[in-house]
Amino acid sequence: MTLADKLDQLGVRRLLLAIHDVSFPSDPDEDLGRGSPATRAAGRFLSFAKELGFTGLQLGPPGQTSRDNPSPYDATIFSRNLATISLEGYAGLVGEEAIAQARWTGATNHVHAYDASHALVAAAHLAMARGARPDLQEELDAFRADHGAWLASDALYAAIADGHGRAAHRDWPATERDLWKASSPFDRRVAANLGRAISFFDQLSAPTDAVLASHANAVAQLAAIAASSIGPRVSALVELHATAIDRYSFGQFLAHREHARVRRHAAALGLALYGDLAVGYADADAWAYSAAFLRGYRMGAPPSRTNPAGQPWGYPVLDPEQAIGRAGELLRARAHKAFAEYDSMRIDHPHGLICPWVYKTETGDDGQAVRDGARLFESPDLPELAAYALVATEQLDPAQPRYADDWVRGLTEEQARAYAAKLRPLVAAAEAHGRSASDLSFEVLSTMPRPLGAVLAAYGCGRWRVAQKANLNDPSDGYRMENAERADWVMLGNHDTAPIFELIRTWPTATRDAWGRHLAQRLGLARPWRLADPGFLANAMLADVFACRAENVSIFFADLFGYHERFNRPGVIDHTANWSLRLPSDFAAVYAQRREVGGALDLELATDLALAAPKL
């Protein structure tokens, strides 16, 4: 019986291998200091994943990171990372001497990868201007025409930042720093008026031509307002930085061209590619789309069971008064670009769309501010947020902390529809590109506020359940596999957790014994003493994941390969260690050797154990 047959018997429809761009392997002659899905070695890795039985890959956010912060969740929402361009992607544009200078030997080095990729793009752009690769010109022109809406602002930001020594916009002169804020108060009033006329647009699954025309007119009017009020200043900056802007656009053309090639390769193998729609925004986005964000507040993670202090992410919050205006257009643009470039999406922290936890800026203590925060749409009792509330004060449970899942006691049908409308732009984009809500993966972790649960239920979507976080003393715990529903996404861990082999190594004897008893009962093991072996215990935990009701399974590459090093420690700023774990070029041999000795996950063993488990 093939693995595909076993998965079918277990009811598993999707088996994704989760890996970020930086973690892909490279051969020595193509290594830039970090991984890329576009390398030759990455091509072999795609075939390896298919042969193991995976149906797709879950990638991380693809945006351009800064030189000093490699976190993909702080990257640009539209522009792609130049370091994902393989050396072969510069064929006919860059000479061997420049390629040799770009190569890197050794551990992941984000700074080198950043510098090398930008230097290669500069050399390639100059070569193109001097007549190299004329066959690319028509394709380049089409790319610029298709992506001009976001290319212009991203390129301008990069050019101005370079002119100020790569400083973020907060440190620019006010005339440049506040460029897009100048017309925002007027835009907000006009957006609100236009919004009332077409507020039903996103609730329609098949809008009429008249509605589409009205929507297009509204967008055009907003664009005209911005152009009339700040157009001369923008034109002057564009003229000043013309060469840098053109170079930036060319680099993005190459990066998007590489991604299209990778996607064609994956499709030929029968592998789906899942993108990652990050909840946050890069500095470039916060600057370019400042008029779309709520003033005086930032988004963060509330206190929770797994993170009692919360996290002040510092991300801007979409202005709820502009759901049809700038904020709505920004979300729709992100969604349509994402579904045009991936087979489906992981939605990073969907709370940020449905019930964002917000905190005040400029208090001097972001840590305390996030602990004193509130949910934007569930705070009718707070004067400063009451205008945005979708629930009434009498629907709240004051005995619960504000961040509790049951802070809102219940929702009316009308309120549930209002919350569901916030997800509609993503679902509409998925449907427009031939996908459905059931294809989406929602990263819902330790908390599931009632409004978020209602929205997922309305669209028939599930949540994440991370096996290693399960509380074995609480039968109702959301992370336990026996509580999984059909639409859920289940996994041993993700990019923010300890690899499963390292976690088991650090467990005290009592914890390991408790898991052994739990799995022996769940899987009906005839020889439960085998669970004393760490490798077998890890695979038994994976078997429990396969045996549950969920139809979607994700395995992080560090778990699959039996790594002990962590990929990321949330809330810890250590960019020499975080976001740096990557596969070697001989990854297939490494995996085979580790699996042979029980040091890696074995999909055949885990599915066999799952199939033999009693139907509980």
DSSP string, 269-321: HT-EEEEEE-S---HHHHHHTGGGB-TTEEEEEPP-SS-TT-EEEEE--B-GG
Nearest to 515 by CA among 486, 544, 491, 488: 544
Alpha-carbon dihedral sign for residues 594, 598, 599, 604: positive
pLDDT, mean of residues 199-203: 37
DSSP string, 506-570: HS-HHHHHHHHHHHHHHHT-S-GGGGGSHHHHHHHHHHHHHHSS-SEEEEEHHHHTT--S-S--T
Whole-Å CA distances, 182 to 1, 291, 321, 322: 65, 9, 18, 17
Whole-Å CA distances, 218 to 135, 183, 198, 209, 446: 38, 16, 9, 14, 39
pLDDT, mean of residues 513-538: 96
| 167: its two tokens | 């400083």
| 370: its two tokens | 């996030």
Checking DSSP bridges between strand 272-277 and strand 552-556, what pairing results, if any?
unpaired
**pTM: predicted TM-score of the whole model, two decimal places:** 0.92
Res 570: pLDDT = 85
Close Cβ partners of 24 (under 8 Å, ≥ 6 residues apart)? 35, 36, 37, 39, 41, 42, 45, 582, 583
E runs forming strands in 203-296: 272-277
Checking DSSP bridges between strand 357-360 and strand 297-301, what pairing results, if any?
antiparallel
Contact 195, 217 (CB under 8 A): no
CA distance 460 to 124: 47
Contact 548, 484 (CB under 8 A): yes
Contact 396, 382 (CB under 8 A): no
Q: Would you say residue 591 has pLDDT above 50?
A: yes
To which residue do tokens 């947020």 refer? 385
Q: Would you say residue 185 has pLDDT above 60?
A: no
> What SS3 state is found at 609?
helix
Q: Would you say residue 225 has pLDDT above 80?
A: no
308: confidence class by pLDDT, cuts 50, 70, 90:
confident
CA atoms within 13 A on the CB side of 589: 4
| 299: its two tokens | 């988004």
210: confidence class by pLDDT, cuts 50, 70, 90:
very low
Contact 57, 19 (CB under 8 A): yes
Contact 91, 136 (CB under 8 A): no
Mean pLDDT of the chain: 91
To which residue do tokens 């393989």 refer? 86
| 15: its two tokens | 């088996």
Rg (CA), the chain: 25
- Cα angle 453, 455, 460; round to 5: 90
235: confidence class by pLDDT, cuts 50, 70, 90:
confident
Res 209: pLDDT = 47
| 338: its two tokens | 């994402």
- Cα angle 53, 55, 57; round to 5: 110
Res 197: pLDDT = 32
> What SS3 state is found at 477?
coil
Q: Would you say residue 372 has pLDDT above 90?
A: yes
535: confidence class by pLDDT, cuts 50, 70, 90:
very high
| 561: its two tokens | 């390969």
pLDDT tens across 398-447, in order?
A: 999 999 999 999 999 999 999 999 999 999 999 999 999 999 999 999 88
Checking DSSP bridges between strand 374-375 and strand 357-360, what pairing results, if any?
antiparallel
Whole-Å CA distances, 329 to 332, 337, 434: 5, 12, 21
> What SS3 state is found at 331?
helix
